[in-house]
Structure 1
């Protein structure tokens, strides 16, 4: 929670550019972004987010179910949560992916989301922007594109996921990281 608030302050400070720069480009919006992060220890997984960047849980044992760990700050998610539309109706609307939460000087009152999980088996946490999850939205879809050896080779797996998004059309920015669970002790790992 505190880390997301610190990130928000850092993004907000980018909007405090000199007056001469604002006068030269008054039409430009203040910098803004979404955020998702994960902290992994030997027995606990904590995720935090604002916006529509997501975290997914993909167990090493692919017989176990994967899960989406975050809920989007989006128009569609708000409509579904309020009971005004079902998921199919909300996501069919042209406003579906309009975000309702973000970091930036023009953001509404910020209340970061955090959640803690205690997975009962090894796996990987996938944190990503919509530039990836648009091509593997459901947890089951994400699990299908995450390589089987992702826990042992997270960087290679991130490259595979980037390729999946680009092969799908790459219509948005793609940021992805994979974090093994449980945490690999510092200095440990395969050569």
Structure 2
């Protein structure tokens, strides 16, 4: 598990990369060991995932009735989020020969994994603001939340990832687009399979 110091340095590093500052690379451990340890960065998303869950409608009942089903459901949710976290990086490793990243592979995987951690915290900040003002200005909060979720956050997400890839991948635009596709497709496939599974059960 990455230490708090690892978390602090790597998130700061990818924050610099997202701003177009190449000095962010100096904060990333791009060794083979550091690359595998970056998958452990998922642990540092758990506080935000817990905060999301506590705001869900079922959280109150679950806290009152702490039984085996509750623990199973919580474990399944954490496992599902870990799969979503790990899939893009694993997809990069599997397709590395086709992407021709060479020695940059470790750097790209480390940056993408820690960028995922940064994005989780950014998402929490973007979504928390309208939730906090919902009780006072419900219509405005709902409108702003819809704008954030459907427009602002996806745009910010793309720009953040693109700036990071522009530094870590470098190369031609088509190569960076290929990396974006490899990062995105497993998540779309996972969502599709999940919906099909829910339809089959329902």
Name the TM-score class by shorter chain. under 0.3
The two structures have a TM-score, normalised by structure 2, of 0.25
Higher helix share: 2
Larger relative CO (CA 8 A, sep 6+): 1 or 2?
2
Higher strand share: 1
The two structures have a TM-score, normalised by structure 1, of 0.26
